[in-house]
Amino acid sequence: MSTVVTVTDATFQEVVLGNDKPVVVDFWAEWCKPCVMISKSLGELAEEYGDKLVIAKIDADTNPEAVRTYGVMSMPTLLMFRQGEVVGTSIGAKPKASLRKAIDELI
């Protein structure tokens, strides 16, 4: 069983870029209603996929370095990483089935 991990600018390199598993990073903000909507789905998907991948959340308001580095302009933005490279992007709240499809393409 896997859970969603919290990432910061300080831990991004280690948790996301240095990970040997595929990583989905959820750029979110406290004030963002659509972010709250997909949060539950991401938690459920983290449990479903277990050790096949890492699902991480980063608070866009308190981690400006990652936001700037990846040009995140809208919340929520999901970036899919494989071996430290962005290989997919999803912007806006999507249904769980769409999130699952994006993760299936990643792994």
The string of pLDDT tens digits covering residues 34-58 is 999 999 999 999 999 999 999 999 9
The answer to whether position 60 is within a domain reads yes
105 occurs within a structural domain: no
Q: Annotated catalytic residue: which of 7, 32, 54, 66?
A: 32
Active site residue 35: yes
For residue 77, the domain's CATH number is: 3.40.30.10
pTM, rounded to two decimals: 0.95
Residue 35 lies in a domain: yes
Which of 35, 45, 79, 80 is labelled catalytic?
A: 35
Cβ-based neighbours of 62, under 8 Å, separated by 6 or more:
8
Give the chain's domain count.
Answer: 1
DSSP 45: H
Instruction: Evaluate whether 34 touches 75 at the Cβ level (below 8 Å).
Output: yes
Amino acid making up residue 71 = G
Q: What mean pLDDT is predicted for residues 1-8?
A: 87
Residue 59: active-site member: no
The type of residue at 79 is L
Under a CB-based contact definition with an 8 Å cutoff, are residues 88 and 99 in contact?
no
84, 17 contact by CB (below 8 A):
yes
Domain of residue 56: give its range: 5-95
